[in-house]
Chains A and B, each alone.
Chain A
Amino acid sequence: MNEYLTLAEVAEAAGVPARTIRFYIARGLLDGPIKAGRGAAYTANHLARLERIKSLQSEGRTLSEIGRILGGVEAEQAAAAPTAWWQHAVADDVVVWTRADMSPWRTRQVRAAIGELARFLGKERKE
């Protein structure tokens, strides 16, 4: 099998219409073809990504959530309204706000930092 696929072939293989694939590319959910112009080509990676999008959709995720999960939509993320925020009371007089829709890895990282901050401030106060 040819390693490169046309858009029509990707659409056929993934069961996703070509127009929808272009829509995903425009939204940053999927990379564009690896070669532009007449021989525009897509690869197995595109197929895998489409499968991933489909499975996230079936879990009830919106396209914007999927965009954030897949981490490929800086532009959209920046423009998106902050929809929900967590409030972490790290000390009696300090509150830290974090976005509720951060990606899971980032959430872990931020929580660890907040934990450290809380410990640090607690220590400072005792001293």
Chain B
Amino acid sequence: MSDTAASFAPVAAPTGEPIRLAMQRLWLTGRVLPAGARLTVQHVFRSGEDKPLEVIYSFPLPRDAALRAFRITGEAFEAHSELRRTEEAVKTYEQGIADGSLSTLARQYGDGVVNLTVGNIRPNETVTVYLEVLAGVELRDDGFRFRFPFTLAPAYHPRMKAAVVAEGEGEMELPPSEFGDMILPRFREDAASLHEVGFDLSILHQLPIEEIGSPSHAIRVRQDRVALATEKDVPNRDLVLDVRFKETAVQVFAGASGEGKRAFAAVVPSTRFGVNTEAARRTVIVLDRSGSMEGAPIAQARKAIEACLAALSESDSFGLVAFDNQVESMSAGLLPGSRENREKARAFLSQVDARGGTELARGFLEAARMLAGGGDVLILTDGEVSGTEQILAQARNAKIRISCLGIGSASQDRFLALLARETAGVSRFVTARERVDLAAVDLFASIGRPVASGLKASANVQPEPQSVVFAGTPVLLFGETEADPGAVELTWDGGRLNLPLPSGDGETGHTLRLLQGSRLITDWESRYPSEEALAPLEKRKQSRVGAKLLALSQAYGLASREMSLVAVVKRAGDRAGELPETRVVPVGMPQDVKFGAYFGAPAGGAPMAACMMPAMAPPTSAPMARKAFGMLSRVRASEDKDAALSVDPLMDLASELEPDGGMPGDSDSVRAARSVAAVLALVAAGHTLTGGAFRSHVARLVKFLKLAGGVSAGERALIGRAIEAASSGAAPRGDWLALARAPGATWPRIESTWRAGFNPRGA
């Protein structure tokens, strides 16, 4: 593990000389709202060369993000970017380089990758670029998760090329026909000697905050500000911040956005709609078995799927698909959620191991075929794929609803959020060090049965909201209005909600308008296939998506693939025609992905430690290294594996539910007794009828208990109290888990345990 807070200057291992980093620092500041974030990313570049330097820093955009502007400063100068058509911006940049002037270009490519290029940094000069970025957040009913990429995950593409270019340093190339002249960073196995990263953010909120946490970084929280707790960190994983509110309520933000208009954003929790129906569910779970899922993620995912399936009843039907570069399904079509079929699923899952590439589209297309038009898909994946616009197009054409559980320390958040949204599903993203299984069960509880459908918003809302709402995920609305005070109106099948707009301030209004723009641009970017986006200007003028993006960029003042940001600083002493030395800023391999998996085994000092051919190997066979690159078997770091692999006992309990919703047992009496204990075990762990990852399991147990036969009046009373506990969330103390799992659990034991733990939890 690399030192996350090295306090010394990096030195080159062989020579002990300080390493001259072209980019020395990346620091994130800004304001984060439940509706999105307005960020300023500081990049400090320095030339330690005796000739001018051109530095290329490549980074992925967060979800729903767009670049707004940059400011470049140095000794005795400051300049601001201009937003121009991409061709023009590139031309301006190149002219600036030819004139010997300091030139900067921020250009977006496919998959939301940006190249920030700063050319003609003079010898020993320090130049700072402050880049303004608008970004979305992952909303939950009780808060939100904010993610910002400090590195870029190597991602699978069928035509990618990977090579080791130096010890512990790998390089990836993507086909220029699809990605143009985009340059990817080099991936450094050890991020300790790279630029320092950090953050200092403020949280803007209306609801009182219960907790701010981070599964990725050590943080320091002071009131509404959250900063890196250590002096600095290394670029080998995303920043992930979780903000949880004390209550679940509607939040409406608004403010003047210019020209007599007011911009607004509303976050409406799913609890404001209805409860989900009991309609039969048709679901296909699609499991990514690509090499990068190896270890804890796939083990957790297997367990999670078993628990998910236990929430199904016999009237529900399901399918199971596993994919890497090939697709395998458990059955040709959907199967009823019977005990027998769940056993079949367990057997199928037990032989699913992580291995090849990530052909995501093939996985969900197989699911679409099985669903034949009706139902939901849940994908468990790390989403490490390139060429996402193409995949998104296939997903839209498949006309299925896809929900995604993303797993990983470096973000494919933008893509998976789009995949879910563009198909009217929901998405969640967890880091590889969090509980994948709990997140999967939680997500599975929401999908399939919307809490509202036919959702429509008043005309001032754009983009239009998804027509369905799922439990746990709020509805986010953006809009602009000329009315004062104005309101947003939401209607859905059987419901209506009117949200008056607060007055708010101009800064908030301006930010909200930009967030709306970046959301719209991201949506349209996802519909812009690379070959269309890379076509010559004349041809692109015919493109409907290209025209829309251009119009959005102009209207909101935000960059897209059609418009880029450029600045040229003319200074005394500019030397025309001098060729700068071009450098690409390396990034760290994401924390949970092993370097050797993408780039072959890192070589040791002695040649003999390198990949060896077997003795007497015929010199005509292919070198091993090439084969290793082709296989793309990415191996996850083993550290923390044991901790991550420990499976929640509740997960085992949840997997035991019978298709009728009750626990198994020899008699009706034992089944009812065990089911009461199971409800109380789940309630004691914070899961109720409406909250917690196992809420659908609680609901199924309660439904079973309501209909349970063969019980006495006393036992019926205990059942009533257990059902009450499922609503109130208060359970008596006791080892309910052990009782629920004991094959011989009897009513007298349930009753005595209840009496012993009579004081309700928290009383």
Contact = CB atoms under 8 A, between A and B. Distances in A.
Nearest to B91: A8
B165 interface: yes
Interface string A82-123: 111111110000010101110000000001000000000000
B616 interface: yes
Contacts of B164: 64, 80-81, 83
B600 A83 contact: yes
Interface string A52-70: 0000010011111100000
A26 B582 contact: yes
A87 B577 contact: no
B619 A38 contact: no
Interface string A1-22: 0000011100000001111101
B619 A83 contact: no
Interface in A1-50: 6-8, 16-20, 22-23, 25-26, 32-33, 36-40
Interface string B572-615: 00011111111110000000000000001011000110111111
Contact of B166 (A8, A22, A81): A81
B231 interface: no
B625 A80 contact: no
Interface string B146-167: 0000000000000001111111
A63 B162 CA distance: 10
Contacts of B163: 62-65
B82 interface: no
Contact of A17 (B166, B181, B614): B181
Contacts of A62: 161-163, 171, 173
B208 interface: no
Which interface residue of A20, A26, A33, A84 has the most chain B CB atoms within 10 A? A84
Contacts of B90: 17
B625 A83 contact: yes
Given A19-B117, A57-B176, A60-B161, A85 B94 contact: no
B624 interface: yes
B670 interface: no
A37 B574 CA distance: 11
B579 A83 contact: no
Contact of A83 (B117, B161, B611): B611
A18 B94 contact: yes
A19 B582 contact: yes
A76 interface: yes
B424 to A, nearest CB: 39
Given A17-B90, A81-B603, A8 B98 contact: yes
Contacts of B611: 83-85
B626 interface: yes
Contacts of A95: 615
B54 interface: yes
A57 B98 CA distance: 27
B699 interface: no
A82 B181 contact: no
Nearest to A27: B582
Contact of A81 (B173, B584, B610, B612): B610
Interface in B157-204: 161-168, 171, 173, 176, 180-181, 183
A12 to B, nearest CB: 11
B709 interface: no
B586 to A, nearest CB: 13
B94 A97 contact: no
A108 to B, nearest CB: 11
A37 B98 CA distance: 10
Contacts of A37: 575-578
A8 B624 CA distance: 41
Contact of A23 (B180, B575, B584, B613): B584
A17 B600 CA distance: 30
B623 interface: yes
Which interface residue of A8, A17, A65, A85 has the most chain B CB atoms within 10 A? A85
Nearest to A76: B165
B707 interface: no
A122 to B, nearest CB: 16
A89 B614 CA distance: 11
B94 A8 contact: yes
A83 B161 CA distance: 15
B617 interface: yes
12 contacts: A7-B98, A19-B181, A60-B161, A61-B161, A80-B166, A81-B166, A82-B603, A83-B611, A83-B623, A84-B611, A85-B611, A89-B616
Interface of A: 6-8, 16-20, 22-23, 25-26, 32-33, 36-40, 57, 60-65, 76, 79-89, 95, 97, 99-101, 111
List the 6 closest pairs (A to B, CB-CB), nearest first. A81-B603, A84-B623, A100-B623, A84-B625, A83-B625, A26-B582
Given A36-B578, A81-B164, 11 more contacts: A7-B579, A17-B90, A33-B579, A40-B578, A40-B579, A62-B163, A81-B166, A82-B603, A83-B600, A83-B610, A89-B616
